[in-house]
Amino acid sequence: MRNLKDKSVLVTGGGAGMGEAIVRRFVEEGARVLITDIDVERGQAVAKAIGMPFARIDTGDPVSVEAAVGAAVKVFGRLDVMVNNAGINSKVAPIHESTQENWDRVIRVNLSGVFYGMKYALQQFVPQKSGVIVSMASINGLVGCFGGPPYGAAKAGVAQLTREAAIEYAQMGIRANAVAPTAVWTPMNMKAAEESGDVQGLVDALNNLNPLPGMPSPDDIAAAIAFLASDDARFITGVTLPVDGGYTAQ
C-alpha cells in the first residue's frame, strides 16, 4: 500500500482476531502501531511478538480512549491513522425480548466506543490537517438481520458517523471510511458457536451465507482496512465498504 511506511497507527481491540490481523498487516506495510485492547494479557502478547507498544483501552470509557490516543502521540510523536476495530457480540433475542443491560453494553462499546475513537483522534488530526479514520461496521448495519438489534443499530450508527466525519473534515484533508464484513471466523464467533451448542452447524451455515462460498479471513478484512488507510484510497472518504462475498448485493 502506498504511503503507510512509518505512519503512526492506533488499533483498538488489537489483541486477537481481526484486530491482531489488522495490526500485523500495518506492521508488514512498515507502519508503527500502538496495540490497544481491554485484555492486557492478549494485547501484550501480540505487542511482544511483533515488537510494538501496547496500551490498555476500554473503548466504552472516553477517559480511557483519550489516554490511549495520548499514548500514541507520546510514543510516536503524532497520530496518522485511527482504526476503531474493538467490538463485542450481542446476546441473541428479538427486540421485544432484548434486555436493557444488553442494549447498553453493546451500544457502549460498538457505537459510543467508535465515537470516542473518532473524537479524540480528530483532536490530533485537526491541528495536523491530516489523518485517516477507518472503523469497523458490519453487514448487520447495512441490512436487516435477525436476533441482534443493538448490534445492528450500533453498526448502522458507525456507518452514519463515518459519513458525518467524512463531510465535516474533508476540507482539512482528513478522511473517514469503514468496512462492513460478513461473518468472519474469529475468537468472538468461535465463542458464539460454542454457546450455541452446534459448532459445526453454525460453521456450515456461515460457509453458505454469502454468494461467494466460505468465509473471509481476518487477513481479508485487514487488507481492506490497510487499503482505505493508504494513499491508494486518497480520494475515497465517507464509504462503508462491504467485505461480504456479495451478501449485500442480493
Active site residue 116: no
Q: Which of 116, 151, 169, 247 is catalytic?
A: 151
What is the rounded CA–CA span in Å between residue 159 and residue 233? 18
Q: Which of 229, 227, 110 is nearest to 175 (CA)?
A: 229
**27: which 3 cell numbers?**
506492521
Burial class (CB in 10 A: 0-12, 13-18, 19+), 89: middle
Q: What is the DSSP letter of 111?
A: I
**210: which 3 cell numbers?**
454469502
Q: Which of 173, 97, 163, 111 is nearest to 140 (CA)?
A: 111
Residues annotated catalytic, as ranges: 151
